[in-house]
Structure formats: structure tokens, C-alpha cells
Amino acid sequence: MSDLLFSLNWFSIIVATLVYFILGALWYSPVLFGNTWMKLRNLDPETMEQPNPIIYFYSFILQFIGVASLAMFITALGVDGAGNGALIGFGAGAGFVFSLAGATGIFTDIPMKLHFLDNGYHVVGLVLAGIILGLW
């Protein structure tokens, strides 16, 4: 296992995490799905307080862990190339995150549109991360 960790391209993991994080900034902004997300969460931008900036740091760390895990899969499988990386990223995003969050979500009051919006972000983020990791 330690051989696998030492064989990872940590620079590509950091770059892929940054891309994933920036995607989140766009995804949840009014440019893409921010207004829809606020509506589905019953949030009013006029009365909403600014979040504590530390949550962005936590989010980055959690995304880093997810991307590093994806890199372990990609490296262990000997995957190379953007297309194969994207496929593994899609498998991780749709196969693990989207489906398992959906299995939990069906027992909650969360609207299905919110599930697609929130977890679709992770599918797209992991596909982009897979492309970057597959290239490096």
C-alpha cells in the first residue's frame, strides 16, 4: 500500500483538486446552478448570512481526499490517458457518490432535483479530476 501512495503524482492531485474546487465555485454561483440551488434549499439571498470561510478550506481538504482516492484507483489499475481517466472518474462519481447518496436521499425529504444538482456536481468534478489524473 505504501508503494501505491509513493507512486502517486501528488502535483496532479493538487491540480485536479483545484479544478474540482473551482468547478464548485462556478456550479453554485448564479452563472450555473446557484439560483436553483438556493430555491431548492429555501434560501433567500437577501437574508442569507455569509458562510464561515473555514468551510471552504474543509471542502477543499475533503475534495483532496476524494481526488487522492481516485488517483489511487487510476494508478492501481494502470489507467492512462484522458479518456480512460474520465471513464474511471465517471465510474467513481456516478457509481459511488451519485448512487449511494441517492440511496440515502430516498429516505429524506430532499427534492430529487437537489440530489441531481448536488451529486451531479461530484460526478462532473470527478470526471474532470479523472481527465487530469489520466493525462499525468
**How do residues 58-95 score in pLDDT, each as one tens digit?**
999 999 999 999 999 999 999 999 999 999 999 999 99
**How do residues 16-39 score in pLDDT, each as one tens digit?**
999 999 999 999 999 999 999 999
pLDDT, position 4: 83
C-beta atoms surrounding 117 within 10 Å: 18
CA atoms of 126 and 129, how far apart (whole Å):
5
CB 28 within 8 A of CB 114: no
pLDDT, position 1: 60
Of all residues in the chain, the percent with pLDDT exceeding 70 is 99
Please give the average per-residue pLDDT across 2-27, as a whole number. 94
| Angle, alpha carbons 21-112-98 (nearest 5°) | 45
For the chain, the domain total comes to: 1
Full domain range(s) for residue 115: 2-135
pLDDT, position 6: 87
pLDDT, position 84: 97
Local structure of residue 1 (DSSP, 8 states): -
3-state secondary structure the chain: CHHHHHHCCHHHHHHHHHHHHHHHHHHCCCCCCHHHHHHHCCCCCCCCCCCCCHHHHHHHHHHHHHHHHHHHHHHHHCCCCHHHHHHHHHHHHHHHHHHHHHHHHCCCCCCHHHHHHHHHHHHHHHHHHHHHHHHC
Please give the average per-residue pLDDT across 84-110, as a whole number. 94
pLDDT, position 22: 98
The answer on pLDDT for 49 being more than 90 is no
pLDDT, position 57: 96
pLDDT, position 3: 87
Look up the pTM and report it.
0.92
CB 8 within 8 A of CB 71: yes
